[in-house]
């Protein structure tokens, strides 16, 4: 079908989407979904789609929607084009924030956004700046342009195979959009007898090292777990610290050991995940006094390629035992030295010790003592104390804290549990889409395309398949806000459509725009590749798929 001209269309669509503030979660996500649909429908294309519209996210407190368009082809084989329409906040732009959604204005101030090395090392005029320019409204713009081109072709004759485009909110938060999308795709499959051969996500990829000339395509995606730690010390006056234990010290020692620890990195397919980092840490004092803080907590971002929730939990328990053992031995030694220095008699005493428990263990132990009815009633009471819009990590903390108080236990101790969200890792999968991508890579050496396994950034792709034999017991039993399928829905709970994910089971690929600085004020997308070369490459991939499907 030949080479198309894409640049001006994709640039225009990108600017229109970037101009809408759509920080997740928020009302702007509703506006940008409508804009996506308007662009898909423009120029009389709305009647050509087999189906198109806005699909409401079930139970969403913000009433957000997915934008979609569907073209039924001659064959049941179906390709999904995926992208997210939300962004992170714009506060990081500082004095430039009022232009954060205006690429042309930011371009005039590029030297205030970039380091001198960045200015010297690239053609600044080839980069579009702005929140969402790279992550990932430009990728959605590419999908809109592709879908409109396919709809134009479908005016004359049905496509060789079916294509669905989904634009989802909430990727930057808890992926409510794509989780609704999974259910939507299954409904579409059942109604039209579709066979999903793969998903093309167009989120940004970036250089892996300074001067990297390659453009990357990823098969599969990295996963994520959010282990959380309630650290319980003992209360005491600051003048008698050896009679208590500072919970911040427990948390600090654990963070020192766990954060940026490459022993907890996962490796597979030639990729090593980034080491864990804390995303939040605090004690639970709400006012000033001279009592030792005896409760603190933090949660840890852990990326995965093969590690399952039970494996990580066991590894973290072992590290906690080691770290706390060393810390308490050091405090024992410090107390003896202090007693000697103070002229006190050094009394014989039992070495300090601490308990390491998972949430599931604490729950089972408390139920054994008090009975399940009483425990459930107390946790239900705690749940109802807080609004449905409360951050799910905060709600999880309140539930763990209530269970600890109910147990009657004394510190020092650490309770390990999981907070949402959970991103399953997804390995590469062979199939027609992989074959089509390989064919296009081989015919375009000038683009220096390289395929790698596992998209290295968190992505909605995690929810488009799940192994049938996946054992998530360690996750669900240790996540206080987890809601089992079929249970009465509670505001503020967390769940995943696990069975739907297993049924969808679609191979996933990320072949997206070339960007840099995502979640930073220098966020930008390279226009020459992203607005012209990429849509053409993806269009040729669709053509290759048509050939392969016809051969089959």
For residue range 75-93, list pLDDT tens digits in order: 999 999 999 999 999 999 9
Q: How far apart are CA 133 and CA 127, in angstroms?
A: 10
Residue 4 has pLDDT above 80, yes or no: no
Alpha carbon 72 to chain centroid, angstroms: 31
Class of domain 223-418: alpha beta
pLDDT band at 69 (very low <50, low <70, confident <90, very high): very high
pLDDT digits (tens, 9 = 90+) for 172-196: 988 999 999 999 999 999 999 999 9
Q: How far apart are CA 94 and CA 544, in angstroms?
A: 46
pLDDT band at 375 (very low <50, low <70, confident <90, very high): very high
Closest CA relative to residue 182, chosen from 80, 302, 327, 275: 80
Contact 433, 197 (CB under 8 A): yes
Quote the tokens at residue 131: 């929140």
CB neighbourhood size of 172 (10 A): 21
Place of tokens 């005493």: 349
Q: How far apart are CA 547 and CA 396, in angstroms?
A: 51
Highest mean pLDDT among 9-13, 289-293, 347-351: 9-13
> For strand 524-526 and strand 127-129, is the pairing parallel, antiparallel, or unpaired?
antiparallel
Which of 163-167, 358-362, 489-493 is predicted with the least confidence, judged by mean pLDDT?
Answer: 489-493
Highest mean pLDDT among 259-263, 337-341, 501-505: 259-263
Which of 108-117, 377-386, 388-397 is predicted with the least confidence, judged by mean pLDDT?
Answer: 108-117
pLDDT digits (tens, 9 = 90+) for 454-472: 999 999 999 999 988 888 9
Quote the tokens at residue 204: 């940004």
Closest CA relative to residue 498, chosen from 537, 525, 538, 471: 471
pLDDT band at 158 (very low <50, low <70, confident <90, very high): very high
Q: How far apart are CA 387 and CA 385, in angstroms?
A: 7
Place of tokens 């010390």: 233
Q: Tell me the C-alpha to C-alpha distance, in Å, between residue 354 and each of 122, 291, 328, 412, 492.
A: 55, 20, 8, 5, 32
Residue 118 has pLDDT above 70, yes or no: no
- Span 266-284, average pLDDT: 94
CB neighbourhood size of 94 (10 A): 10
Q: Tell me the C-alpha to C-alpha distance, in Å, between residue 62 and each of 10, 27, 56, 421.
A: 29, 7, 10, 18
Contact 503, 403 (CB under 8 A): no
What backbone torsions phi and psi does residue 101 show, to the nearest 5 degrees? -110, 15
User: Is residue 491 classed as helix, strand or coil in its secondary structure?
Assistant: coil
Give the side-chain half-sphere CA count within 13 A for 250.
33
What backbone torsions phi and psi does residue 228 show, to the nearest 5 degrees? -130, 155
∠ Cα 459 191 62 (to 5°): 45
Place of tokens 């079908």: 1
- Span 148-155, average pLDDT: 96
Place of tokens 């949430």: 359
pLDDT band at 113 (very low <50, low <70, confident <90, very high): confident
Query: CA torsion 429→432→437→438, rounded to 10°?
Result: 80
What pLDDT score was predicted for residue 462? 95
Q: How far apart are CA 151 and CA 90, in angstroms?
A: 35
> For strand 161-168 and strand 75-84, is the pairing parallel, antiparallel, or unpaired?
parallel
Alpha-helix runs per DSSP H in 235-274: 247-258
- pLDDT, mean over the chain: 94
Domain boundaries, the chain: 7-222+423-465+505-551, 223-418
3-state secondary structure 47-99: CCCCEEEEEECCCCCCCCEEEEEEECCCEEEEEEEEEECCECCCHHHHHHHHH
Closest CA relative to residue 232, chosen from 362, 319, 394: 362
Q: DSSP secondary structure string, 500-528?
A: HHHHH---EEE---BEE-TTSTT-EEEHI
Q: How far apart are CA 279 and CA 336, in angstroms?
A: 36
Place of tokens 């709600």: 395
User: Is residue 230 classed as helix, strand or coil in its secondary structure?
Assistant: strand
What pLDDT score was predicted for residue 1? 46
Q: How far apart are CA 145 and CA 12, in angstroms?
A: 10
Number of residues written out for the chain = 552
The predicted model scores a pTM of: 0.90
What pLDDT score was predicted for residue 120? 53
- For the chain, percent of residues with pLDDT exceeding 70: 98
Quote the tokens at residue 420: 């949402």
What pLDDT score was predicted for residue 343? 87
Q: How far apart are CA 13 and CA 238, in angstroms?
A: 60
What backbone torsions phi and psi does residue 263 show, to the nearest 5 degrees? -65, -15
Quote the tokens at residue 48: 């050509």
pLDDT band at 488 (very low <50, low <70, confident <90, very high): confident
Residue 308 has pLDDT above 50, yes or no: yes
- Span 430-455, average pLDDT: 96
What pLDDT score was predicted for residue 467? 87
What pLDDT score was predicted for residue 172? 93
What pLDDT score was predicted for residue 551? 77
H or E segment to which residue 548 belongs: helix 534-551
Q: How far apart are CA 228 and CA 425, in angstroms?
A: 19
Q: 96-99 long-range contacts, Cβ below 8 Å, gap at least 24?
A: 96/521
Class of domain 7-222+423-465+505-551: alpha beta
Assess whether the previous peptide bond of 422 is cis (omega < 30° from 0). Answer: no
Q: DSSP secondary structure string, 378-409?
A: HHHHHHHTS-TTS-HHHHHHHHHHHHHHHHT-
pLDDT band at 121 (very low <50, low <70, confident <90, very high): low
- Kindly state the DSSP code that residue 170 receives in the 8-state scheme: -
Q: How far apart are CA 323 and CA 22, in angstroms?
A: 42
Alpha carbon 204 to chain centroid, angstroms: 14
Residue 378 has pLDDT above 60, yes or no: yes
pLDDT digits (tens, 9 = 90+) for 215-258: 999 999 999 999 999 999 999 999 999 999 999 999 999 999 99
């Amino acid at each position: 079908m030949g080479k198309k001209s894409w640049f001006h269309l994709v640039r225009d669509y990108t600017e229109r989407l970037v101009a809408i503030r759509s920080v997740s979660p928020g009302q702007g996500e509703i506006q940008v979904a409508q804009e996506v649909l308007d662009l898909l429908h423009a120029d009389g294309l709305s009647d050509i789609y087999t189906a198109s519209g806005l699909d409401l996210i079930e139970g969403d407190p913000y009433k957000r929607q997915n934008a979609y368009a569907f073209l039924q082809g001659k064959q049941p084989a179906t390709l999904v084009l995926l992208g997210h329409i939300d962004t992170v906040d714009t506060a990081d732009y500082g004095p430039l924030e009022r232009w954060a959604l205006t690429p042309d204005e930011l371009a005039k101030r590029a030297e205030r956004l970039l380091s001198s090395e960045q200015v010297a090392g690239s053609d600044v005029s080839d980069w579009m700046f702005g929140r969402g320019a790279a992550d990932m409204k430009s990728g959605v713009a590419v999908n809109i342009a592709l879908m409109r081109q396919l709809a134009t072709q479908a005016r004359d004759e049905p496509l060789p195979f079916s294509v669905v485009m989904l634009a989802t909110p909430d990727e930057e938060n808890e992926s409510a959009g794509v989780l609704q999308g999974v259910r939507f795709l299954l409904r579409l499959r059942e109604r039209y007898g579709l066979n999903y051969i793969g998903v093309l996500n167009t989120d940004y990829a970036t250089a892996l090292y300074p001067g990297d000339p390659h453009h990357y395509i990823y098969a599969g995606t990295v996963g994520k777990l959010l282990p959380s730690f309630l650290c319980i010390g003992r209360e005491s006056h600051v003048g008698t610290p050896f009679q208590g234990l500072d919970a911040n010290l427990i948390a600090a020692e654990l963070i020192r050991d766990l954060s940026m620890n490459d022993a907890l990195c996962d490796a597979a397919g030639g990729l090593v995940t980034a080491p864990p980092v804390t995303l939040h840490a605090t004690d639970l004092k709400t006012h000033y006094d001279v009592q030792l803080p005896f409760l603190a907590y933090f949660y840890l971002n852990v990326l995965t390629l093969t590690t399952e929730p039970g494996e990580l939990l066991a590894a973290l328990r072992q590290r906690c035992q080691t770290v706390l053992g060393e810390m308490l031995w050091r405090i024992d030694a410090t107390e003896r030295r202090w007693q000697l220095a103070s002229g006190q008699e050094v009394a014989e005493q039992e070495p300090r010790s601490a308990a390491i428990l998972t949430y599931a263990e604490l729950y089972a132990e408390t139920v054994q003592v008090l009975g399940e009815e009483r425990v459930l009633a107390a946790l239900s009471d705690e749940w109802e104390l807080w609004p449905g819009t409360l951050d799910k990590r905060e709600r999880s903390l309140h539930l763990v804290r209530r269970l600890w108080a109910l147990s009657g236990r004394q510190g020092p101790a650490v309770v390990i549990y999981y907070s949402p969200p959970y991103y399953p890792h997804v390995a590469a999968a062979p199939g027609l889409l992989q074959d089509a991508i390989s064919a296009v890579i081989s015919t375009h050496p000038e683009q220096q395309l390289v395929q790698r396994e596992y998209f290295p950034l968190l992505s909605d792709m995690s929810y488009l398949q799940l192994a049938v034999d996946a054992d998530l017991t360690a996750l669900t039993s240790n996540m206080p806000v987890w809601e089992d399928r079929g249970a009465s829905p509670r505001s503020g709970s967390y769940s995943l459509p696990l069975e739907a994910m297993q049924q969808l089971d679609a191979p996933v690929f990320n072949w997206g725009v070339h960007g840099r600085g995502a979640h930073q004020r220098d966020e930008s997308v390279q226009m020459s590749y992203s607005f012209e070369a990429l849509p053409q490459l993806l269009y040729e991939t669709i053509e290759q798929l048509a050939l392969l499907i016809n051969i089959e």
